[in-house]
Structure 1
Amino acid sequence: MKFHEKLLALRKQKGLSQEELGMELQVSRQTISKWEAGQSYPDFTKLVLLSDFFNLSLDELVKDIDVQEVREKNFTDEKVAEMYLDYEKGKSGLKKIWRVAIIISFVILAIAIFALIMPFIFPDLSFFWQRK
């Protein structure tokens, strides 16, 4: 029997809802749902709490678990988390590039405006822009 099947059977045997078990373990109902669907696995601390709650030894609780499946699932989760972090870092770098481009654009615009209004502000300095 796989862990998620065992957890589901133990919870139903006690007559608990996912929400009630989640409250006992201080996790969300969605977390219990993911554990029971085999989409994720509890960490060691939660396994100890589960074994205490169901009055089982850790060995009894996790016996017959396909450890390779857990490893593959953790590896996949780590890869997804790593890809997300890489994406966030790239997005952050792109934001910085856009900020610099906007600042440079404003500086160029300010210089152009200044150059256009300079003859009106300082007509005495017209020798700077008159051709001879």
Structure 2
Amino acid sequence: MNFKDDIKTLRRQSNLTQEALAQQLHVTRQTVSTWETGKNMPNLETLHALSHLFNISLEKLLFNEEIAMKKDKEPSLAIQIDHDVKLKSRYRRWTFGLGSLIALALVSIGILCLGYYKGIGTIDRFDPFLSYKVGYTKLPNEKEISPNNKTTNGYWTAWFTDNTMGNEWTKLTLTTGLNPGVKDPYVMAYHKGSYVKVARIVPRTYINQTYVSNIAALDALLNHKGNTATNNHDLKKYKTQIHISDTVQQLVTE
């Protein structure tokens, strides 16, 4: 007997139709039919699956005889096939696992970048590449920050200077409540990217004068006060971006 007859006999002995066998092997009924008519042969993985399904060795399935591995001899073809199929399956799992990890890493990095450049505080809060900073800005007028403001519900947005050099700025959206009576009020925000953990209203005398100068320079730049270098500077980015690295003091001359 040859393979096409053997596979048909084994299928019938197992009380399986071509359709039932095809379902167990994840192939079509037409594929099984081509095996049984001798028009085609299963691939190595399918042969391996057939040997397990019918509880028969690959030697018996392929050659209709048992071929044992002799001492000091090379393994039989069937044993080599079985070994190769197992290795291929193992490599496929490793490749899938590694690919999944790489894909997950890329998606995570993409989400973190989106959070940073779009100013999504919920994402920035869990970004391991960001660190907490203390930023300062001048407190807006009472109408803008009032919790009774139906448009903003007390949330307001402003540029905060994050260092004394005046070349690190972050646009933050936060709520502070009304001024409790602080004279010449400023806001100190402890933030990570766009995520604000805590913010406090403090008097001007509480913060470094350099920060005050930075804030005044930015206000002059945005409101075209004094001699501003607007001809060489695109102010549109202050409306669209979340993070700016301009040394504002160099752009403004009072």
TM-score, normalised with respect to structure 1: 0.48
Q: Which has the higher helix share?
A: 1
Bigger relative CO (Cα 8 Å, ≥ 6 apart): 1
| Higher Cα radius of gyration | 2
Q: Which has the higher strand share?
A: 2
